[in-house]
Amino acid sequence: MNSTRRRAVGALATLATLCLSAAQAHAQAVKIGIVGPFSGPFAHYGALFKAGAEAYVASQGGKLAGKEVEFIYRDTGGPNPGQTKSLVQELIVKDKVDYLGGFVFTPNALAVAPLIQQSQTPTVIFNAATSSITEKSPYFIRTSYTLWQVTVPLAQWAAKQNLKKVVTAVADYGPGIDGEAAFKSEFAKHGGTVVESIRMPITTTDFGPFVQRIKASGAQAVYTFLPGGPPNLGFIKAYNENGLAKAGVQFLGTAETDEFDLQKFGDAALGLTTAFHYSGAHDSSENRTFVQALKKRDPNAVANYASVGAWDGMYVIHKMIEATGGARDGAKAMAAAQALAWESPRGPVRIDAKTRHIVQNVYLRKVERQGGALLNKEVQSFGPQGDHGLDK
């Protein structure tokens, strides 16, 4: 009887020690808060952030710089600055995260600038693409792209193709207006004329009238920016069905042929020209490693700008953990991140020390069908591009 009791007490003591050491290991883990939409119409961004970030950690053997990593996911739904601010405050104050990542929408990213400033939390933006974000706090760093970055080389290329008259048609909000301004100023520099600038309300569902206006403007090409998902599909359908493709009005886009939507376009997408920083079909061993790791983590995940933004964002966080030895030191981490240069799945990239934005190759791509699936075939590299919006 006595011995059983002693054994039980012994077992309990062992268990308690185990729990304690587990708790200690837990306390040592580096905490990373990932903020994005995990529900609602933009939930696929959240799923891609999660898959990209977790695939990166798994590809490094489950630890970053010898430290356990704990992800804490927070759901912002759609563009919702108020809620994002309170979620991030909770992450910083209550969960005591060491790093923040994610952010799909510009207003959400802007809302957290004072918080990360005060707590000195390095914050890696996986997507939000308005230039001015990184100016709002020295703790912002961005691994996605900006409209200026991809539009300027596209405008230069268009001018070289002897296009003289172009019409711009963009969704009427932040990034669309950035894209319109970038295209107009750069195209004019090279002697081209933007004959008409159409801003389409963001709630538009019937793109027929706008496409007719593009046709009536007599332009040789249309530069466009549309948010992913339904508007994208609607515009490309209207572009084809109203006979613009047949009339020879060339399509100049950026993120429109995103891999997440691409297969849904069907043959309507064939031949569409875009300038962008990442194609899921980029031919390099780094990209193959990325795609493989991503599929292993989540078979439904798509290699596109959102998942590669998260993957590269985790690379930056990895290097920041390495530089600080896992200690919480925002200033030191940011200093280390600003000197980074590496081979990303999208090609060679580096972080620009002044703008804390990623410098990367921008590629000219055409949509092709290979092996039954549509892909963005890179036909030309414009070489490394910084953020022309911040460099001004």
Residues in the site for other proteins, rule: CB under 8 A? Answer: 40-44, 172, 198-201, 203-206, 208-210, 212-213, 215-216, 229-230, 233-234, 237-238, 241-243, 246, 260-261, 264, 266
User: Which residue, 256 or 378, is less far from other proteins as judged by CB?
Assistant: 256
- Of the pair 209, 384, the CB lying nearest other proteins is at 209
Instruction: CB nearer to other proteins: give 99 or 210.
Output: 210
CB of 66 or CB of 266, closer to other proteins: 266
Phi, psi of 391 (to 5 degrees): -75, -20
- Least distance from C-beta 81 to other proteins, angstroms? 20
- Alpha-carbon torsion 36, 182, 218, 374, what sign? negative
Query: What's the closest the beta carbon of residue 289 comes to other proteins, in angstroms?
Result: 26
H helix or E strand, kind and range, residue 238: helix 230-241
| Shortest distance, position 14 Cβ to other proteins, whole Å | 43
CB of 118 to other proteins, least distance (A): 35
Tokens representing 159 are 């001018």
Instruction: Report in angstroms how near the CB of residue 24 gets to other proteins at its nearest.
Output: 39
Q: How far is the CB of 97 from other proteins (least distance, A)?
A: 26
Q: Which is nearer to other proteins, 113 or 303 (CB)?
A: 303
Cα 388 to Cα 66, 146, 168, 194, 343: the distances in Å are 37, 9, 19, 19, 22
In Å, how far are 123, 133, 146, 255, 375 from 267, measured between CA atoms? Answer: 40, 37, 28, 18, 11
User: 297 vs 318, which CB is nearer to other proteins?
Assistant: 297
CA 98 to chain centroid: 21
Contact between 323 and 332 under an 8 Å Cβ cutoff? The reply is: yes
Q: How far is CA 319 from CA 55, 68, 170, 324, in A?
A: 16, 14, 37, 9
